[in-house]
Structure 1
Amino acid sequence: MKQQKYAKLKILALLAATYAFAKFQGGFASWFLFYSCLTLVIYVLLTYLLMFATLDVTRSVNRDRLQDGEDVTVTLRIKRKIWFPLGWNMVVEPLPGKLAGYYEPHRQLLFPWFRRELVVHYVIPRVPRGNYQLTDCVVTAGDYFGFVQRKKTFPLRNEFLVYPAYRQLTHWSAGDGRISGSMNVSHRWSDDVAAVRGVREYQRGDRLSQIHWKASARGLGLKTKEFEHQATNQVIFFLDASLESYQRRNPELFELAVKLTASLVYYASRMQYPYGLIAHEQKRIAIPPGNTQTHFFRTFDQLARIMPEGITPFAQAVGREALELPLGLTLAVITPVLHKRLITSLAQLNRTGRNVHLFWVHDQPRIGEEEQRALLWLSGQQVSCEAIHPAQYEQLKRIGGV
């Protein structure tokens, strides 16, 4: 700021000195020098007044939904209303808080000259899972001679989600061949003729194979077969997002839990199993069972945003939430802890008719004796258990089965 103050004083002193010199000396050369300085002062004044009055900045990102590890391309468009070269621009793009420790803010010096629009592209590489917001863009401008300089913050806002990476599982025994729940489904692999329980009026969108031709031939209009409710697998995912469970642990352990959940959700979606998600972050997250494209993106949106910030103990949350669910469901529990209260709760849920599958994520080189005893005891209580290590997850294709 002092430099800018002295620069303004210098240019005013230069103008005053050339005017005094021309006034007392006279002649073409001295007045030419004065008018040259006067032109410079007018240019600097116009630059100072108009450098931001004619400037507009917009920002866009190439995608608002990405996957963990992908690159984000950001585009800045800087437009001016006049073509006259007022000076230079320095663009500074602050990064979201999660990325501030990984990369430096993008800085770029621009010389517009006679162009009315400048386009700037930059890439944020290998963005990890999360919800990101690009906010204010800071633009510094000055004249070409270095006399004046100003800074302005343009209030911009761009948001994008980075989904967790998932593995394409080929088999998960907890979901294969277990009939759980009963609900109407929009997708059928086939129509069982023996499951027809009656006929109803034809509705727009009914398939030709569903029309009951004998009933329609009686002259009462088109009739459609009405089938019994189809039993189907239903999975509810319980993701541990409590602060207590991940304190003093490797932060990557929670990322492993989220990626594992995403892989299981993708498997359930591909196999046409209705699935839901329950987690206790700062607020309760509860997505009821469903299996549509909208439901899939809704679930992954939550998996992109979730952080281990819950204050409710996970064992308490599972025990309270699971008892309100109907019998026959598959409960997939993903957690890094094996507390006695959680183990007892899972065994009790399995005895009451829920199919419980525990996924214990850990980063231990060898599983301790206490954890081994807990897993063996749960297996004896007919609770399916899987211990998932980060190295094992990278090769994961099958869960359970032979």
Structure 2
Amino acid sequence: MKQQKYAKLKILALLGITYVFAKFQGGFASWFLFYSCLTLVCYVLVTYLLMFTTLEVSRTVNRDRLQDGDDLTVTLRVKRKIWFPLGWNLVVEPLPDKLAGYYEPHRQLLFPWFRREVILHYVIPRVPRGYYQLTDCVVTAGDYFGFVQRQKTFTIRNEFLVYPAHRQITHWSTGDGRISGNMNVSHRWSDDVAAVRGVRDYQRGDRLSQIHWKASAHGMGLKTKEFEHQATNQMIFFFDASQDSYRGRDAELFELAVKLTASLVYYASRMQYPYGLIAHERKRIAIPPGNTQTHFFRTFDQLARIMPEGENPFAQAVSREAVEFPIGLTLAVITPTLNKTLITSLVQLSRTGRNVHLFWMHDHQIREEERRALLLLAGSKVTCESVHPSQYEQLKRIGGA
């Protein structure tokens, strides 16, 4: 700013000196020099007043949904309403905070000359999982002679999600021999009236079409139809997103947990199993069981955004919410912790007849107390899978022969 103040003084001083020189000296050369400086001052003044008045900046991204590791192509359009050459532009694109540590902000110097529109492209390579916003675009403009310079921030909002990468799991043994939850079917529960065998109390997750309105009208609360065939591989994913679980651990362990959950969700979607997601971040994330394309993208949207920012203990959330789901569902628990509270909760859930699968994430050699905890859970009919980062790359089958 100080340099710009001196630049304005210099051009005014130059105009004054040439005027005084022409006034006292006279002659064609001296007045030609004065009028040349006057023309220059008029140009600089017009440039200073109109450099941003006639400038428009817009931004587009090639995709608003990416996968972890993909490249993002950004297109900027710098457009003027008039063709008059008003000087140069320096475009600076600040990156989101999560990317600022990986890459430098994009900078590009433009000389539009007589062009009304300049289009430029740049690439943000290998974008990691997350939710991102591109907002400010800082444009610095100045005249060609270096007398004036101004800066303006254009607020442009572009959002995009980067989904977690997932592996192709070929087999996941989710059944345990119980009546409900071990039959592989690709359809939802039957709504055939002829197949109704009775009624039961309403449970969260039941669809409106399953409610028995006549029985509910008797004043005994909401009642749900029970059908003859209710076998399905329905599953609920309990994802650990609490701060305490990942404090002091490598950040890649949380990313590994997200990737594993995405792989399991993709497997359930491909097998046409209804699935849901429960997680406690800053807010509670609860996606009820379903299996549609919209449901799949809704789940992956949450997995793209989720961060280890939950304040409540994960074991407490599992013990409180898992009992609300009907017996027979597969409860898939993804966590890096093996504390006593969680072990007790999983054992109690298994004893009530629920099919519990524990996916324990770790980045170290299994300690003796952790090995004993896994044996205790296995003895209580809790299916345990320990996943190390080195093992995840070869993960294709979960459970079974």
Is the pair's TM-score, using the shorter chain for normalization, greater than 0.5? Answer: yes
Tell me the residue number matched to 2:104.
Answer: 104
Q: Is the 8 Å Cα contact of residues 179 and 233 (structure 1) preserved in structure 2?
A: no
Counterpart of 1:213 in structure 2 is none
Pairing 1:388–2:382 present: no
Q: 1:244 to 1:373 in 2, by over 3 A?
A: same
Between the aligned partners of 1:179 and 1:152, the Cα distance in structure 2 is: 67
Give yes or no for contact 1:196–1:228 (8 Å, CA) kept in 2: no
1:2 deviates by: 1.0
Answer whether contact 1:237 1:333 (CA < 8 A) is retained: yes
Following TM superposition, by how much is the alpha carbon of 1:188 offset from its aligned partner in structure 2, in angstroms? 4.1
Which residue of the partner structure matches residue 58 of structure 2?
58
1:197 matched to 2:194? The reply is yes
Instruction: Output the amino acid matched with 2:154.
Output: F
CA contact (8 A) 1:178 1:233 kept: no
State the 1:242 CA deviation: 0.3
**Change over 3 Å in CA distance of 1:97–1:179 after alignment to 2:** farther
- Residue of structure 1 equivalent to 2:69: 69
Q: 1:176 to 1:370 in 2, by over 3 A?
A: closer
- Structure 2 distance, partners of 1:360, 1:7, is 65
2:154 corresponds to: 154
Instruction: State the match for 1:327 in structure 2.
Output: 327
Aligned to 2:28: 28
Q: What SS does structure 2 have at the residue aligned with 1:82?
A: coil
Q: Shift of the alpha carbon at 1:351?
A: 1.0
Task: State the 1:230 CA deviation.
Answer: 4.5
Residues 195-234 of structure 1 correspond to what in structure 2 (within 5 A)?
197=194, 229-234=229-234
Partner of 2:263: 263
SS of the equivalent of 1:89 reads strand
Query: Which whole-Å CA distance do the structure 2 matches of 1:34 and 1:176 have between them?
Result: 95
Matches within 5 A, 1:270-309: 270-309=270-309
Q: Would the aligned equivalents of 1:197 and 1:228 in 2 still touch at CA under 8 Å?
A: no
Question: Structure 2 counterpart of 1:264, which letter?
Answer: L
Amino acid at match of 1:123: V
Query: Closer, same or farther in 2 for the Cα pair 1:178/1:13, shift >3 Å?
Result: farther
Structure 1 counterpart of 2:103, one-letter code: Y
What SS does the corresponding residue of 1:197 show, helix, strand or coil? helix
Kindly tell me: are residues 294 and 145 of structure 1, through their superposed partners in 2, closer, same or farther at Cα, counting changes over 3 Å? same
Q: How far apart, in 2, do the equivalents of 1:66 and 1:341 lie?
A: 38
Q: Which runs of 5+ in 2 are unaligned?
A: 196-226
Contact 2:61–2:158 (8 Å) recurs in 1: yes
Note the C-alpha offset of 1:231: 2.3
Name 1:337's counterpart in structure 2: 337
- Give the letter aligned to residue 110 of structure 2: L
Distance 2:279 2:2 in 1: 54
Partner residue in 1 for 2:136:
136
Alpha carbons 2:178, 2:328 under 8 Å: kept:
no
Deviation readout 1:209-262 (Å, 9 max, x if unpaired): xxxxxxxxxxxxxxxxxx965521100000000001000011111000000000
Stretches of structure 1 lacking an aligned partner (at least 5 in a row):
199-226
| 1:202 alignment partner in structure 2 | none
State the identity %.
82
For the Cα contact (< 8 Å) 2:64–2:160, is it kept in 1? yes
Check the 8 A contact 2:363/2:388 in 1, yes or no: yes
User: Counterparts in 2 of 1:236-255, with a 5 A limit?
Assistant: 236-255=236-255
Q: Which amino acid aligns with 2:194?
A: R
SS at 1:156 equivalent: strand
Residue 163 (structure 2) aligns with:
163
In the alignment, which residue of structure 1 is the partner of 2:359?
Answer: 359
SS in 1 for 2:371: helix
**SS of corresponding position for 1:241:** coil
Q: Aligned with 1:249: secondary structure?
A: coil
Amino acid at match of 1:325: F
- In structure 2, the residue corresponding to 1:70 is in which secondary structure? coil
Matching residue's letter, 1:197: A
Give the equivalent residue in structure 2 for 1:16.
16
CA contact (8 A) 2:176 2:355 kept: no
Q: Secondary structure at the match of 2:120?
A: strand
Q: How far has the Cα of 1:323 moved from its partner?
A: 1.0
RMSD: 1.9
Report the secondary structure of 1:231's partner residue: coil
For 1:115 and 1:396, the matched residues in 2 are separated by 55
Instruction: Tell me which residue corresponds to 1:94.
Output: 94
Specify the alignment match of 1:42 in structure 2. Answer: 42
Deviation at 1:327, TM superposition (A): 0.9
The residue identity in structure 2 corresponding to 1:299 is: T
The 3-state SS of whatever aligns with 2:325 is coil
CA–CA separation in structure 1 for the residues paired with 2:175 and 2:120: 49
1:85 partnered with 2:61: no
Conservation of the 8 A alpha-carbon contact between 1:179 and 1:232: no
Per the alignment, residue 379 of structure 1 pairs with 378
Distance in 1 separating the partners of 2:261 and 2:284:
17
Counterpart CA distance in 1 for 2:291 and 2:115 is: 52
Partner of residue 396, structure 2: 397
Q: Could you tell me whether the CA contact under 8 Å between 1:180 and 1:330 is conserved in 2? A: no
Q: What displacement does 1:120 show? A: 1.1
Q: Which runs of 4+ in 1 moved over 6 A?
A: none
Q: Could you tell me which amino acid in structure 1 is paired with residue 85 of structure 2?
A: P
Cα pair 1:282 1:310 within 8 Å, conserved = yes
CA distance in 1, matches of 2:131, 2:150: 33
Distance across 1 between alignment mates of 2:129 and 2:144? 43
After superposition, what is the alpha-carbon deviation per residue over 1:151-188, rounded to whole angstroms, capped at 9, x for unaligned?
Answer: 00001110000000000100001259866369xx9x64
Amino acid at match of 1:389: H
The answer (yes or no) to whether the contact 2:164–2:259 under 8 Å persists in 1 is: yes
Q: Which residue of 1 aligns with 2:124?
A: 124
